[in-house]
Amino acid sequence: MRKIGLICLLTLFICIFAETSVLAAPASYVVKSGDCLWTISNNTGVSVDTIKKLNGLNSNLINIGQVLILSSYSAPVVVQPAPVAAPVPVVVQAPASSAPTGSAVYTVSSGDSLWSIAQRYSTSVAKIKELNALTSDMLHIGDKLIISGTAVVSTSVSRSGYNITGLRVVEKAAQYLGTPYKYGGSSPSGFDCSGFTQYIFGQFQVYLSRTAASQYGHGIIVNKGDLVPGDLVFFNCSGSGISHVGIYSGNGNFIHSSSPSSGGVIYSSLTNGYYANTYVGAKRVIR
């Protein structure tokens, strides 16, 4: 009897230990503000390489609200949150002469990544990047992504009025953040303001004049309240006419090659005192 009792106690101990071990192993983690892969790894005991492999990550970039898988074993869920319906892509019917029809378009929201969007709509990151001519995994809240259908053309405009090529222009411009300011420069070795805009738009077969003042002669006038990513914004910084230009990037900001002292290509706000006071107007050169 004593031997049987010991066996029962040992069996009970093993079961409790096994159950505790399973519960201790986190199955997933929701990214919070200030998190990075290294801190998540330290807090959960799961290596950075394992987290990247389980989630198909090609870089260390993560987004607030993103759900990271931390174990190939799905631990029991105690509280089941109410199901959230996945956003339904909007079907954009555009004229056959200007854009593909029947394309599903998704608007990027906070916490989204290419991987999470691809999983949600049963497609691949590579396919989304191909359809949208993306050269990196970087996304911005409000971006319009083609999820299925035919690759967009340069005149494709989303239902919200955002020009798809305009968003790509901003993404291309962001690749040169930190490039030094160089008077008369118009290449990645150094840009002045109009050399920067001329170079970026030239990558999309939109050819601009060389100076800020002459670039103001392109396109159509856009009211400040109607700005969309990809519009050109102009300033009178010298007091004698248009002398500076940048590319509107959304949310009241623009990207430009500022000056040698400010770091070259940077983001600035249109509400900044200096730029708010010298703002002249905007032009849309992509339609």
The residues that are catalytic are 193, 244, 256
The answer to whether 113 and 127 have CB atoms below 8 angstroms apart is no
Distance, CA of 174 to CA of 31 (rounded, Å): 24
Please tell me the distance from the alpha carbon of residue 199 to that of residue 137, in angstroms, as a whole number: 22
Backbone dihedral region for residue 45 (phi beyond 0: left; psi -120 to 50: alpha; all else: beta)? left
Round to whole Å and give the CA distance between 216 and 241.
11
Question: What letter does residue 176 receive in the DSSP assignment?
Answer: T
Q: How many of the other CB atoms lie within 10 Å of CB of 127?
A: 14
Of residues 187, 145, 149, 181, the one with CA closest to residue 162: 145
